[in-house]
Amino acid sequence: MTRKGIKGIVFAGTLLAAAMFFGAAPIPAEAKAPKVESVEFETGKRIDVDFKGKVQYNKVTVKVKDTSGKSYKTVITEKDNDSITVKVPTIKTGKDYRITVSGIRRKGTGAYGKVTAPLRIAGKNEVLVEDLEYDRSDKEVSFDFQGSVKWKNAKVKILDPAGKNVVIRIEEKDREGIEVKVKKLTAGKKYSYTITGVARKGSSAYKKVTETFHF
């Protein structure tokens, strides 16, 4: 699927839900720290952290811990002015983690600080929406899943605060995700979505995924 639109709007959903395991919000209140736009688990046990806006680094480090406090060795494989990628060779699936990037700041600001975000890595047959994007101009919402998925009688509902479904139709779907045409969404409003008829590749268990979001 073509990735476009506004990223990182699953704050009321995947990111915030995972953060509850640590008793903290995804982003610490540090004046010079950038905001995390999205955190994605990729093939090869890599974690991509994308930031809102441009960033700068100084002796940057990335730490990964699970809910028990266990630390996992990380190797920075790539970094640029809006993202950083690390490989975590011993990371496990079906668990929740906290990612901390230190030695980072918003471009052109003062002291370097740190930023923290949660990450859920799906289990073997777990269906997990990793990223949700809203394209204002085309009025389309795209759902990207962690790992490959397959479909059977797929349906998507997005309910507005009044409980009305704003989905007009499914535009496209593939092994990475699904895209729907919607009525105009309002910034700052809380929405909920339900996706049915989706399963992880290799699994026969088709599931329902429900979560809330705002942008």
Residue 78 is assigned to a structural domain of this protein: yes
Candidate from 9-23, 58-72, 80-94, 127-141 with smallest mean pLDDT = 9-23
Q: How many domains does the chain have?
A: 2
Task: Tell me the whole-structure pTM to 2 decimals.
Answer: 0.74
Note whether 28 and 110 are same-domain residues: yes
Residue 39 is assigned to a structural domain of this protein: yes
Note whether 95 and 166 are same-domain residues: no
Residue 3 is assigned to a structural domain of this protein: no
Q: Which residue has the higher pLDDT, 209 or 110?
A: 209
Q: What is the pLDDT of residue 17?
A: 43
Note whether 114 and 138 are same-domain residues: no
In tens, the pLDDT along 85-131 reads: 999 999 999 999 999 999 999 998 889 999 999 999 999 899 999 99
Last residue of a domain, one of 75, 98, 121: 121
Q: What is the pLDDT of residue 9?
A: 52
Last residue of a domain, one of 76, 96, 121: 121
Note whether 39 and 91 are same-domain residues: yes
Note whether 113 and 137 are same-domain residues: no
Question: Is 80 exceeded by the pLDDT of residue 23?
Answer: no
Q: What is the CATH number for 42?
A: 2.60.40.1220
Last residue of a domain, one of 58, 90, 121: 121
Note whether 19 and 115 are same-domain residues: yes
Candidate from 28-42, 57-71, 117-131 with smallest mean pLDDT = 28-42
Question: What mean pLDDT is predicted for residues 39-55?
Answer: 94
* Structural domain boundaries enclosing 156: 129-213
Question: What mean pLDDT is predicted for residues 197-203?
Answer: 96
Residue 36 is assigned to a structural domain of this protein: yes
Residue 174 is assigned to a structural domain of this protein: yes
Note whether 136 and 45 are same-domain residues: no
Q: Which three-class secondary structure string do you get for the chain?
A: CCCCCECCCCCCCHHHHHHHHHCCCCCCCCCCCCEEEEEEEECCCEEEEEEECCEEEEEEEEEEEECCCCEECCEEEEEECCEEEEECCCCCCCEEEEEEEEEEEECCCCCCEEEEEEEEECCCCCCCEEEEEEECCCCEEEEEECCCEEEEEEEEEEECCCCCECEEEEEEECCCEEEEEECCCCCCCCEEEEEEEEEECCCCCCEEEEEEECC
